[in-house]
Each structure stands twice: as structure tokens, then as C-alpha cells.
Amino acid sequence: MSETITRAQLTEAVYQEVGLSRNESADLVESVLAEMSDALVRGEMVKLSSFGSFQVRQKGQRMGRNPKTGEEVPILPRRVLVFRPSHVLKKRINDGDADTSGYASDDVEPDTSY
């Protein structure tokens, strides 16, 4: 069963770990998410060390097919958000590592997967 981490849970984690007030923790979480969103809208890459990188890519128009009717339909050009996990995150996920430090000191290879 998969769970979802919410803004409220992120705020609570910041409150517990950092010791800011709940309101300050909520403001901090909102500020970080807003800065990430703004950077992506501007076309910048957002790279979080030991976590991964977010990037907006432009996809061109192409022809698709309606799976029910088989009719060809144009798919309009659009921008899509792409996330690439870092090697550290991939390793933690595959090893089942529950360590919350988020950093493996022996991993110094840069993320060149973009």
C-alpha cells in the first residue's frame, strides 16, 4: 500500500527536526516549494543534491491514436515536468535504506543523467 506525504506532514517534519514554530515551519515549506515552482516556470533546472533534479522539457506536436477508435489525432506541443532521481536516492530505494540523513558519503559521482 503506498502512502502520500502531504504539505502538512512536511511541515510537521520540519517542526520536529528544526525546532521552528509550526507557523514558521509551514512558511518555510511553502517558501521552498514556491521557489522550486517559480524556477521551473522560468525554465531553470532544480537540482537537490542526494535527491534528484526537476526539469521542464518542451515536447513537440506529434500524431497519436485514439485507442478506442483507432483514429489519428494530433497531440499538441506542451511542456512536461521531468524528475530524475540521483544515484544516492536510487541506491537508498533499491537497498531499502531507512537512513534519514539523505547523504551517502561514499557517493561522490555527479548526477549526469540529464
pLDDT tens-digit profile of 56-95? 999 999 999 999 999 999 999 999 999 999 999 999 999 9
Going by C-beta distance under 8 Å and a sequence separation of 6 or more, which residues neighbour residue 113? 84
Going by C-beta distance under 8 Å and a sequence separation of 6 or more, which residues neighbour residue 98? none
Residue 2: what pLDDT?
73
Q: What is the mean pLDDT of residues 1-14?
A: 90
Rounded percentage of the chain residues whose pLDDT exceeds 90: 81
Mean of per-residue pLDDT scores for the chain:
87
Long-range contacts of 35-40 (CB under 8 A, 24+ apart): 40/81
Distance (Å, rounded) from C-alpha 92 to C-alpha 86?
A: 10
Q: Tell whether pTM > 0.75.
A: no
As a whole number of angstroms, the longest Cα–Cα distance in the chain is 58
